[in-house]
Every structure is written in C-alpha cells, then in structure tokens.
Structure 1
Amino acid sequence: MLVSVPGPCEPEDLLEGVIFGAKYLGSTQLVSEKNPPTSVRMAQAQEAMDRIKAPEGESQPMTEVDLFVSTQRIKVLTADSQEAMMDHPLQTISYIADIGNIIVLMARRKLPRRADAPIDKQLYKMICHVFYSADAQLIAQAIGQAFSVAYQHFLRASGIDPSQLNPRQPDNEEDDDDDDEDTLAKGEELYNGDLAHFSKQENCKKVTILKQKGEILGVVIVESGWGSILPTVVIANLMHRGAAERSGKLSIGDRIMSVNGTSLVGLPLASCQNIIRDLKHQTEVTLSVVHCPPVTTALVRRPDTKYPLGFCVENGIICSLMRGGIAERGGIRVGHRIIEINGQSVVAMPHEKIIQILTQAVSEVHIKTMPASTYRLLTGQEHPVFL
C-alpha cells in the first residue's frame, strides 16, 4: 500500500489515472535548453499563453477536453469521443504552470545534436499546450502529486524498503549520452543525502502553527533546485518574532511538503508563495515538513579526471546539470551555491580557482551546497520578502 502523498487525489487513484475537465485553447512550440531556471520556464509558459490566448474582448476558440493524469503519462482526450489528442509520458513533462485560470503544460522532445554542440547545450523542442479551467491550480497540484506517487511506486515495485534504502537510478530514466560517464553512472550506486534523510520517519513531521488572524506566517521560501530528489520549497528565512519563529517548530532549510493538506511538491515557486499568502486570515496552519539542515552535502564519485563531473558552475553557483551523470546521482542540484569542496571553503574564492579545484578533484568529491537564494538572504545580499 502506498504511503499517503499530500495532494488533491488519492495516491492509488493516480496509479490508474484521474480525469479533469478543461478547455483546450491551442498549442505552440519553443526551443529551449533542457533544464533552465524556473524563472525562465515561467517566462516560457507566459510566452506560450500569450501566443495562444486571444486578446481580451476577442472570441477564443476552445475545445472541451478531459485531462488524464496518472503516474505514467498525461493525455488530452476529446470530451465526447475520448480520442487521444496528445499523449506524453510523465517523465517528458518539464513544467506545468497555472496562470490564473490558464494551465500551460510543457513537454520536451530532444532535437538532433549538432556535431559541434557542447554536451551541456543540448536543445529541446518544448511542446506547450494551453488550457482553460476553473480548477487550474488543482490540476497543477495533481500533476505534482503524480510525480511524487510515481517515485514512491517505483521504489515499492522494485522491492525497495525506503527505511533500508540503497537506491539506484530508475531504469526508465533518459540516457542523454552513450559516453564513458554514462557507463560509469550505470555502474555506480546513487548517493543522495536527501533520499536517506527523507526515508527516516523522524525527519518527516506535521507541525501546527498558531497565529493571529490577519498575521502572516513569517517565512521566506525558495526552490529546492532541479536535481533535488523531492522538488518542493525550502524555508530560507524566518521573521524575527513572527508566527513561524514563535512556534519553535520550523528551521531554515526545512522543506514544506504540504500546507493544510495541499501538496506543494512539483508546484512552481509562485504558486507555493500564493498558497502561503492565502493563509493570512487563518489562525491555525498545519504544515507537513521534512526537517533538513540548510547545507546539503553531495558526494560525487569520480575515479579519474577523464570522467566529466557533469555540471557547470558560474561564480560558485551550479547553473546546469547533465541528466543521469555522476553529479546528479551524487546529489548535486541546479540553483545551489557551492560552500565547500572536500572541506575547503570556496565562499570567497574566485571563479577560476573553484573551476581548478573541481577539474582536479577525483575519488570521492564531497561538495557542500545550499540554495543560492538562501545564501544571498543569509549573507544580507537580498532583502527578505516574508509571506
């Protein structure tokens, strides 16, 4: 039996598939890198909506459809005949955005790689489907929940006890390159501090926070970063004497799984922020959280310098990550700031020196990171916007 995964659907139902009614407005295509920052994805979703949605006051062609959401795929079916208009495996869904009553579903298709193209600059065709639904946010939450249930189902179907987890990369992951690194990655065990951490029940708790009506919760949230085993938001700051800090139940680094039963897993940051803002007039808030330290330790196993680490760094921040590579398998995630490499602080280190250390690092490379937004808040480079 599946452990309960917060969200609008019963986890067991998502294994079979759940249907939501919507109105199909149209589709468009964009060319994109595989994993740009979420801000770029959101801008792409907005662009897709602007291309398809008719200007205010003009009639909008719409087709009644059913959105079929499961742990295997997302299909768009005609409401009357139930013929499949689109059918996308879940792992090809790169982003789902709810913009008011508009849903933008983005699925990727790999384009042929040019011989002179760098490995980390592989381009993808993003097929963007645009829908209208009064349940836009609910649908986005259901798709985020489907990702969570799919991962849990994969573990159980593989006979893996989460409390005794010694995981490997799922067999159905995409293989971007048939190179030495790919061969190495398939032969290496996955190391991920998050996975071991999340599997311990004592780290996963429900906390109830009492506050005054009209008072904000008093938290700043940021993204956990692409590559995180569980994509949800991280508490980056607590308001001094705010409701969250007064409770003594939350800390910087904690991941919020759900708010009053609404799952935040897989949702865009803006959607999560809106959900927390809407708590202002409530006097009691229940959060499902995973207590995590603000600094994450990744372990990248690299036997020789001939194997690329599989990620790119700009001024200490991880800006891209090769899918299925040794860095992703070791727990590296996009959008994080590198704090330490093999016990050596790199916070004030020039970019060139960081690259030199990473280039020469072999064997077990221990890398400590935290979300770049959290780092900027804690070092006073950004002003916190509390929710």
Structure 2
Amino acid sequence: NSITFLISHFVFVSVPGPCDPDDLLDGVIFGAKYLGSTQLKSDKNPSTNARMKQAQEAVDRIKAPEGESQPMTEVDLFISTQRIKVLSADTQEAMMDHPLQMISYIADIGSIVVLMARRKPACCMICHVFNSDDAQVIAQAIGQAFGVAYQQFLHANGIKASELKPSEYSDYLGTQELYNGDLVHFSDSDNIREVSISKAPGEIVGVAVVESGWGSILPTVVVANLLHGGPAERCGALSIGDRIMSVNSTSLVGLPITTCQSIIRDLKNQAEVKLSIVHCPPVTMAIIKRPDPKFQLGFSVEDGIICSLMRGGIAERGGIRVGHRIIEINGQSVVATPHEKIIHILTNAVGEIHLKTMPASTYRLLTGQDTPVFL
C-alpha cells in the first residue's frame, strides 16, 4: 500500500543524439585519449564564435608541435544527465568530475573533443582536450544529455515544455536553490573530529552502525547505538548520528555496509582505535521548496519510510534521501501518524516544506523494534 509522488512511466520525447535517452540517465561510456587541460579567461556569456575560438586556443596550447610525440592517457569518458566524469582506463579512478550544469561548451574539431567547464571566479574556464575517433559522437552525446536533463527537469517539477523555453532553463534552476543541511554541516571544521578509543585487546569497540541513506553527500556509516559501558561509550566523544569517515586511517566512505562492519569487527584485538568522524545530530533536516501542488515532490513513501527518489526533482534538491523515516513535517511529529494521513499532509503541502528524517534502521533501534548488533 504505497503512494508514489513519482510519475512511474515517464516516456522521453525523442531527444536527437547517438544514445538511447534512458541510457543517459544511468550514464554511457566512450573511450578517448586525454591530452591535457588548460585554463582560459572568459566573458560571462560569450558568443558561439568566441567559444569556438577559445576551444581552438585550448587545442593549440595543449597539442604537441608537429613532429613531436604527444603525451596522452587512455581514459573512459562517462556521460550522464547528472555529470561528466573522466576515468583512468586502467584503474577506473576518477580524474575529473563535473556536474553537467557546469559544462558551458563542447566542441569537436576533427578527432579532437574540447570540454569547457566553468570555474570560480566566473571569468575563468577550464578546458579539457581529448582525442578520439568518436569525437563527433561524444560531442553529440553530451548535447543529448543536456536535452534529456532538461526534459527530466521539467517533468520532475511538473512543468509543461510549452510553458518554459529552453533558454529559461538555467534561470529557473537558479531560482530552485539547492538545500542540503549536510553541505553546511560538513563544511564546518568544528564538526570534524578525531576520536581515540582505548580498550582491552579482545574487547569489541561497542558500536552499532547503519547506512547514511542514498542521497547523502557523505555516504558512509552512521553510529546508531552505543553499547552501555563499552569502549565507544566510555570514551565520551561519540554520539548517535555521528558519521564515521575512517577507522585507523582506513576510509569507510562509499563502502558497502557489510564491508564497514567487517572492518570495525576486525578491530577486536586492537588496544587503541582511532576514528575520524563528522559529529552529526541523529535527525536530518530537509527543506523542499514547492510553489504549487502541480509540482511533483519526486519521492515515494511507504509507512513513513522514503523508498524511492527522483533524480533532479525538488525533493532530491531539498536533501531527501532513500531509507530514511520521516519524523516531523513542518514541526508536526508524524511518528505515530497513519500512512494515509502522512500522504494527505505531503500531497497538500506547499511553500517551504520542512521535513525531519533519520535512517529507518536507527529509528527502529532507538524505539526497541530491532536489537542492535554491536561490533
């Protein structure tokens, strides 16, 4: 009995390009050779001709003189409606990662592709230069990604294409401010701490951990419970809600929950454990800006738990994440509220909607519905 705020069968209007539009949601990969990058000064809104001259200037700066060998690195270009990433072909490590909206121009010059991304200050542009037999196809695929992202944006916000010209897209996005409490919280160095836990060899650390939830800016494990009298509680520096970034210099960011649990479990014979944490409250605030009920919220709820989220929608922009339980809506507790009433409140909510959420597994531990597994 789940009610969804997504439009489940969204069919893209045909967006011209070499890729299947649906594939661009997940991302497509092209092989290329990376020649180098250079920074150029740029006007805020240069003409297409000016952009093309800048692209040629970037190529001239980077390309080796005639007769000299050109240094190059084999790479994979990952293109999606969200971002463009450059991955090392050997290790698949990300060499560059640009959100799609930061790309201002793509040029293909013969077998050369130039990717131009905005930088701060606004008068600067970073230009990446690649060589590929598929140069023209790559440029077309990036252009197509913009087209699909535009349609997705309109759809997620409940806007008909006829009501918004493509030229207004970026202006409209600019008014939809990205709210993410994590971003503010994690950028405050006072919240980043090193914690030292002393314990007897053979004694467990004494923490129960859960996932931070899909959509979190720092995907890592969250402290969900502390063993009473255990080493983690005795140290006095850990709280429920804290994110563990690393354990004894081993990063946990981006690792599956089972891997993180194994790493912590393997500390049993250590006498001292050093954790790098971000001190966080157990409850996360999300703010969804919804000017009218016609705007799709872009997430689905089942029994108070967020179970899916539309990429690019106002809910994702507001900090909503999958796997979290809704605790409050606009200051009103909904922990004991029937499912239908939660749906009714959300369906009719407009303006600035404030939601407090926490990982559902943390909620179940705190309310005694689940037994914590201490590591």
Query: TM-score scaled to structure 2, two decimals?
Result: 0.60
**1:178 Cα deviation (Å)?**
4.3
Shift in Å, 1:187: 3.3
Q: Deviations over 1:315-337 (max 9, x none)?
A: 00000001111111111000000
Using the TM superposition, give the Cα deviation of residue 253 of structure 1 relative to its aligned residue in structure 2, in angstroms: 0.1
* Alpha-carbon distance change, 326 to 185 in structure 1, aligned in 2, over 3 angstroms: farther
Identical positions, percent: 63
1:274-300 CA distances to partner (integer Å, 9 max, x unpaired)? 110111111111111000000001000
Corresponding residue of 1:177: 152
Alpha-carbon distance between aligned partners in 2 of 1:214 and 1:254, rounded to the nearest angstrom: 24
Q: Distance in 1 between matches of 2:254 and 2:81?
A: 14
Name which of 120, 123, 126 aligns with 1:159. Answer: 120
1:264 to 231, 252, 268: 252
1:185–1:326 Cα contact (<8 Å) kept: no
RMSD across aligned C-alpha pairs, in angstroms? 3.4
- Pairs within 5 Å for 1:125-164: 150=97, 158-159=119-120
| Structure 1 residue aligned with 2:78 | 89
Residues 1:380 and 1:319: Cα distance change in structure 2 (over 3 Å):
same
SS of residue paired to 1:328: helix
The structural deviation recorded for 1:159 is: 3.1
Q: Check the 8 A contact 1:220/1:384 in 2, yes or no.
A: yes
The residue number in structure 1 matching 2:327 is 339
Paired AA for residue 178 in structure 2: L
CA distance in 2, matches of 1:198, 1:306: 33
Q: How many angstroms apart in 2 are the aligned matches of 1:371 and 1:242?
A: 23
| 2:199 aligned residue | 211
Residues matched between the structures, number: 248
Secondary structure (helix, strand or coil) at the match of 1:250 reads coil
Residues 248 and 349 from structure 1, CA distance in 2 versus in 1: closer, same or farther, beyond 3 angstroms? same
3-state DSSP class of the match of 1:256? strand
Deviations 1:69-110 (A, max 9, x none): xxxxxxxxxxxxx997x94628799xxxxxxxxxxxxxxxxx
Aligned mates of 2:173, 2:327 — CA distance in 1: 25
Q: Indicate if the aligned counterparts of 1:339 and 1:346 stay in contact, CA closer than 8 A.
A: yes
2:312 to 316, 324, 334: 324
* Pairwise CA distance, 1:158: 3.9
- Partner residue in 2 for 1:231: 219
Residue 314 of structure 1: how far off its partner (Å): 0.3
1:349 aligns with 2:337: yes
The answer to whether residue 274 in structure 2 is matched with residue 310 in structure 1 is no
- Aligned AA (2:323): G
Distance of 2:220 and 2:305 partners within structure 1: 19
Question: Is 2:177 the partner of 1:189?
Answer: yes
3-state secondary structure, aligned to 1:179:
helix
Q: Distance in 2 between matches of 1:242 and 1:385?
A: 13
- By how many angstroms is 1:181 displaced? 3.7
Letter in 2 for 1:267: L
Note the residue ranges of structure 1 that are not aligned, 5 or more in a row: 1-30, 36-81, 94-138, 161-171
Instruction: Show the counterpart of 2:233.
Output: 245
Distance, in Å, in 2 between the alignment partners of 1:229 and 1:216 is 29
- CA–CA distance in structure 1, aligned partners of residues 333 and 347 of structure 2: 16
Aligned pairs for 1:354-373 within 5 A: 354-373=342-361
Partner of 2:152: helix, strand, or coil? Answer: coil
Match of 1:65 in 2: none
Contiguous gaps of at least 5 residues in structure 2:
1-21, 27-71, 83-90, 103-116, 122-144, 158-168
CA deviation vs aligned residue, 1:108-159 (integer Å, no higher than 9, x gap): xxxxxxxxxxxxxxxxxxxxxxxxxxxxxxx8xx96xx59x9589x9x9743
Q: Which residue of 1 aligns with 2:284?
A: 296
Q: Which amino acid aligns with 2:78?
A: P
Greater Rg by CA: 2
TM-score (norm 1): 0.58
CA change 1:188–1:222 in 2 (3 A) is same
Q: CA 1:299–1:358 in structure 2 vs 1: closer, same or farther (change >3 Å)?
A: same
Partner of 1:281: 269
**What's the CA shift string for 1:186-218, capped at 9, x where partnerless?**
531111111000000000111111111011110
Report what 2:69 is aligned to. Answer: none
